[in-house]
Amino acid sequence: MYQKFRLLILFIVISFYPYFVYSQVDESINVSANYSNKPLTEILQNIEKQYSVKFYFKNEWFEKDSVTIHTENVPLNQFMDKLLSGKQFIYKEIQKNIIAIIPKNDYAMIMGQMYEQEDVTTIVVGKPSEAGKYKKVEIKGHIKDGKTGEALIGSNIVLENTTQGTVTNVDGNYTLVLAPGNYNLVVSNIGYETTVYKVKVISNGTLDMELFVTSHKIEDVNIYAQRPDKNVRNNQMSLVEIDSKVIKQLPSLTGEKDIIKSFTMMPGVKSVGEFGSGINVRGGGEDQNLYLLENAPIFNTSHVFGFISVLNPDAVSSATLYKGHIPAGYGERVSSVMDIQIKDNNCKVFKSRGGIGLYNSRLMMEGPMFKDKVTFKIGGRTSYSDYLLRQLNDYYLMNSSASFYDANALVTYKGDDSKLTVFGYISNDKFKYAKEQSYEYGNKLASLNWSYIFNHDWSSSLIAAYSNYNVNLDYINTIVEKRRVQSNISYTSGKYNLKYVGIPNHTFDAGIQAISYNIDPGEQKPLDSISLVLPLTIKKERALEGSFYINDLYEINQVFSLNLGLRYSAYAYQGPQDIYTYSSNHTKDTIYAIGTTSYGKNKIVKSYMGLEPRVSFKIQFNNKNSVKLSYNRNNQYLSLLSYTSVPTPNDIWKLSDSFLQPLNCDQFAIGYYRNFKNNAIETSIELYYKKLANLLEYKNDAKIEMNQHIETELINAEGKNYGVELLLKKNKGKLDGWISYTYSRSLKKTNSKFKEEIINNNEYYASSYDKPHDLTIVGTYHVNRRWRIGANFSFASGRPVTLPENQYTLNGQQLIYYSDRNKYRLPPYHRLDISISLDESLKLKKKWKGSWTIGLINVYGRKNIYSVFYKRDTPSQANNFHMFSLYKLYIIGRPLPTITYNFIF
Amino acid sequence: MLVFDKFNNRTSLVVSTLLTLLLFTTCQESYNPDDIDSSKKLLVVDGSITNNPGPYTVSLSYSSPFSDRYSYNFIRNAKVYISDDLGNTETLVEKGYGKYYTSKNGIRGTIGRKYKLRIELVDGSVYESVPAILNPAPVYDSIYPVMAEIDAVGTNGDGEVSVEKVKGVDLRFSVSTSEKSYYRLFSTVTTQWTHQKTPVGGTPIDVHCWVNSYLNSAIDVKSGVYNGSKYVIKEHSMGFLQYVFDNSMPKTDKSGAQISPKKQEGWDVITHIFSISPEAYIYYESIVKQLDAGERIFDPIPSQLRGNIHCLTDSSKIALGLFDVTSDSIVFNAFFWTPALHAVDHRTADTIPVITDNNCVDSRYPPFWVNFFFK
Span B278-324, pLDDT tens digits: 888 888 888 887 877 666 666 667 777 778 899 999 988 889 998 99
From chain B, the residues in CB contact with A878 under 8 A are: none
CA pair distance A42, A630, nearest whole angstrom: 58
Residue B310 near residue B127, CB atoms below 8 Å: yes
Interface of A with B in 790-849 (CB under 8 A): 801-819, 821, 824, 827
User: Chain B contact for A120, CB < 8 A?
Assistant: no
Distance of CA B328 to the CA centre of its chain: 15
Residue B182 near residue B225, CB atoms below 8 Å: no
Q: Is the peptide bond before B300 cis (omega within 30 degrees of 0)?
A: no
pLDDT at A548 exceeding the cut of 90:
yes
- The pLDDT mean for chain B works out to 80
From chain A, the residues in CB contact with B301 under 8 A are: 643-644, 698-702
Residue A581 near residue A640, CB atoms below 8 Å: no
Distance of CA A838 to the CA centre of its chain: 25
Q: Alpha helix (H) ranges present in B188-302? A: 278-293
Helix (H, G, I), strand (E, B) or coil at A879: coil
Q: Closest-CA residue in chain B for A889?
A: B28
Q: What is the pLDDT of residues B223-266, one digit of tens each?
A: 887 777 888 888 888 888 887 766 666 678 788 888 887 766 78
Whole-structure pTM value: 0.75
pLDDT at A10 exceeding the cut of 90:
no
User: Chain B contact for A868, CB < 8 A?
Assistant: yes
CB count, 10 Å around CB of A381?
Answer: 28
pLDDT at B331 exceeding the cut of 70:
yes
B5 pLDDT band, cuts 50/70/90, is very low
Interface of A with B in 257-296 (CB under 8 A): none
User: Chain B contact for A305, CB < 8 A?
Assistant: yes
A290 pLDDT band, cuts 50/70/90, is very high
Q: Closest-CA residue in chain A for B218?
A: A813
User: Chain B contact for A763, CB < 8 A?
Assistant: no
Strongest mean pLDDT among A398-402, A502-506, B185-189, B254-258? B185-189
Nearest CB to A810 within list B46, B170, B302: B46
Residue A141 near residue A205, CB atoms below 8 Å: no
User: Chain B contact for A387, CB < 8 A?
Assistant: no
From chain B, the residues in CB contact with A645 under 8 A are: 298-299
From chain B, the residues in CB contact with A436 under 8 A are: 7, 9, 12-13
What pLDDT, on the 0 to 100 scale, is given for residue B234? 83
Nearest CB to A824 within list B9, B35, B320: B35
CA pair distance A487, A471, nearest whole angstrom: 6
Q: What is the pLDDT of residues A565-618, one digit of tens each?
A: 999 999 999 999 999 999 898 889 887 888 889 999 999 999 999 999 999 999
Residue A804 near residue A886, CB atoms below 8 Å: yes
Q: What is the pLDDT of residues A81-105, one digit of tens each?
A: 888 887 778 787 766 677 888 776 6
CA pair distance A98, A92, nearest whole angstrom: 8
Residue B288 near residue B216, CB atoms below 8 Å: no
User: Chain B contact for A435, CB < 8 A?
Assistant: yes
Q: What are phi and psi of A342, to 5 degrees?
A: -80, 145
Nearest CB to A643 within list B150, B153, B300: B300
Whether residue A883 and residue B69 make contact (CB cut-off 8 A), yes or no, is: yes
Predicted-complex ipTM score: 0.80
CA proximity to A97, closest of A143, A62, A58, A147:
A147
Q: At what angle do helices A2-15 and A104-116 cross, to 10 degrees?
A: 60
Distance of CA A181 to the CA centre of its chain: 38
Interface of A with B in 459-478 (CB under 8 A): 475, 477
pLDDT at B9 exceeding the cut of 50:
no
d(CA A771, nearest CA chain B) in Å: 17
From chain A, the residues in CB contact with B68 under 8 A are: 807
Q: What is the pLDDT of residues A349-364, one digit of tens each?
A: 788 888 887 777 889 8
CB count, 10 Å around CB of A860?
Answer: 9
Q: What is the pLDDT of residues A17-53, one digit of tens each?
A: 333 333 345 556 788 888 888 888 888 888 888 887 8
Residue B15 DSSP label: H
The one-letter amino acid at A221: V
Q: At what angle do helices A76-83 and A40-50 cross, to 10 degrees?
A: 170
User: Chain B contact for A891, CB < 8 A?
Assistant: yes
Helix (H, G, I), strand (E, B) or coil at A182: strand
Q: How far is CA A870 from CA A201, A867, B63, in A?
A: 72, 10, 17
3-state secondary structure A332-369: CCCCEEEEEEECCCCCCCCEEEEEECCCEEEEEEEEEE
From chain B, the residues in CB contact with A824 under 8 A are: 33, 35-36
Whether residue B25 and residue A813 make contact (CB cut-off 8 A), yes or no, is: no
User: Chain B contact for A439, CB < 8 A?
Assistant: yes
Tell me which H or E stretch contains A781: strand A773-782
Nearest CB to B150 within list A388, A479, A891: A479
What pLDDT, on the 0 to 100 scale, is given for residue A878? 52
What pLDDT, on the 0 to 100 scale, is given for residue A249? 60
Whether residue B235 and residue A532 make contact (CB cut-off 8 A), yes or no, is: yes
